Amino acid sequence: MSVALCWLNPEINQEKLEKLRHTTLQNLILDHYVKKNILDESFSNLMNGLKEEREWLNYTFGEFNSDFFKEVNNNDDYLNKEFDKCFEIMDQICKLLLKKYDIKERINLYIYDAKGDDFIQTYLSKDEQHSVIEFITKIDFLK
């Protein structure tokens, strides 16, 4: 979500988004969204929390101080609220730029004719594929 927001922001140079590291991404979100009161600091906190969870899963062996799956389920509402805010922002950006460029149409083509459909089919189960497509359609980023 953070990468998508950065790619949609015309103030951010494309070169900064190539081979993007988490720290750079975090700083871009802080500078271009949080400090400008477009996103709450809670989104930045969520990014850090998800990074810590991923690192814990990838690099920790045999240490189970908490019920990971219970924690993920508890964070689900929090994650959905933050993502809803991001989709509102993305929608506003798309509407602002619609006269010059139909970003939603480009996203639609990217999902079905470029990398998106390959990614979805390769890495997701049939149920997950259905959920993703249903969600993207619901938020009007897929026709």
* pLDDT for residue 20: 86
Distance CA 135, CA 141 (A): 9
Q: Which residues contact 134 (CB under 8 A, 6 or more apart)?
A: none
| Residues 83 and 133 grouped into a single domain | no
The whole domain housing 68 covers: 2-101
Q: How many domains does the chain have?
A: 2
Per residue in 39-63, pLDDT (tens digit) is 999 998 888 888 877 777 777 766 6
| Residues 88 and 136 grouped into a single domain | no
3-state secondary structure of 56: helix
| Residues 62 and 73 grouped into a single domain | yes
Question: Which burial class, exposed, middle or buried, applies to 51 when counting CB atoms under 10 A from its CB (0-12, 13-18, 19+)?
Answer: middle
| Residues 94 and 113 grouped into a single domain | no
The single residue listed with the structure tokens 């508890």 is 74
| Residues 30 and 18 grouped into a single domain | yes
| Residues 41 and 109 grouped into a single domain | no
The backbone torsions φ and ψ at residue 22, rounded to the nearest 5 degrees and listed phi first, read -60, -40
For residues 111 and 134, is the Cβ–Cβ distance under 8 A? no
| Residues 83 and 16 grouped into a single domain | yes
Separation of CA 43 from chain center: 11
Per residue in 102-139, pLDDT (tens digit) is 887 877 777 766 666 777 788 778 888 888 888 878 87
| Residues 29 and 85 grouped into a single domain | yes
| Residues 14 and 80 grouped into a single domain | yes
Per residue in 75-89, pLDDT (tens digit) is 777 788 888 898 889
- Looking at residue 114, the DSSP 8-state letter turns out to be S
Distance CA 78, CA 96 (A): 28
Per residue in 9-35, pLDDT (tens digit) is 889 998 888 888 889 999 999 999 999
